[in-house]
Amino acid sequence: MSDVQPETAGVQAQYAARVGADLETNRKEQERVGAEVAALQEQLQVLENDHALLLSMQQALGSTSTPAAAAKKTSPVKKAVPAPRASAGNSRGARTKKPTATKPKPKTKDEDKSKGEGKAAKSAPASTEKKPAAPAAGPTLVELIDSHLGQQSEPRSAAEITTALAQARPERTIKTTVVRTTVEGLVAKGRAQRTKQGSSVFYTAAAPEEKSAAPQPETSTG
């Protein structure tokens, strides 16, 4: 019995020493991890402060877009929960169950009437649209040139007559060649006079007595 007690005391002392060493190691590890956690929390606080500062700068610049990283950080990510799997009995029942066919509702008279009106509106020809009214006929080009020459105190060329008539009648397309042909016709009828200055030809209104007189045919000297 005297030999067993010292051995037991020695084993207990060894376990006690090992437990004490493990406790010391655990305490040091807790201190190390605690220091790392404190450092990480400090870094996290700095990042949060920077994030708030950047958001305020973004709002001051007028930008309304939010970075994706901020959205991920502020909103916790929820893991998708898988739907419960159907049991074998339920799956068999779902397979064997046939969908019931729904009978179409009978159409009322009002619905048939509205559909008939819609079809009639679609099939109506485009010719029923109102056409714009034709503009009222104005004075002829002969009348315009005759009136214009009667208001002038100096001779006018065909180009000058064309410019004046185009400004007075912007809705009409008046060309110089047409004006020249028309005013030459007035000269032939004795309603206008033609004078030539160098290579240019000018026109004036004929005197009232000349207009009333009939034009005399030109005689050939040949």
Q: What is the CATH number of the domain that holds 184?
A: 1.10.10.10
User: Is 99 within the bounds of a domain?
Assistant: no
Q: Is 196 helix (H, G, I), strand (E, B) or coil?
A: strand
CA pair distance 107, 126, nearest whole angstrom? 31
177-207 pLDDT, tens per residue? Answer: 999 999 899 999 988 988 988 888 999 988 7
- Has residue 109 been placed in a domain? no
What residues does 156 pair with on adjacent strands? 203
pLDDT in tens, 143-158: 999 898 888 888 999 9
Q: Could you list the residue range(s) of the whole structural domain that residue 39 is in?
A: 4-64
Structural domain includes residue 95? no
CA angle, residues 130, 134, 139, in degrees to nearest 5:
170
Which amino acid does the sequence have at 12? Q
On whether the pTM is more than 0.75, the answer is no
Closest by CA position to 184, among listed 150, 158, 165 = 158
* Residue 217 included in any domain: no
106 domain-assigned: no
Domain count, the chain: 2
Of the three residues 46, 64, 82, the one that is the final residue of a domain is 64
- Of the chain, the end-to-end C-alpha distance in Å amounts to 177
Residue 94, pLDDT above cutoff 50: no
| CA 108 to mean position of chain CA atoms | 42
Nearest to 142 by CA among 87, 81, 191: 191
The verdict on residue 167 lying in a domain is yes
Judged on CB neighbours under 10 Å (0-12, 13-18, 19+), 118 is exposed
* Residue ranges in the chain assigned as alpha helix (H): 4-60, 68-74, 88-96, 109-123, 141-151, 158-168, 176-188, 208-212
pLDDT digits (tens, 9 = 90+) for 124-134: 455 445 555 54
Q: Is 28 exposed, middle or buried (0-12, 13-18, 19+ CB in 10 A)?
A: exposed
Single residue among 64, 85, 112 that ends a domain in this structure: 64
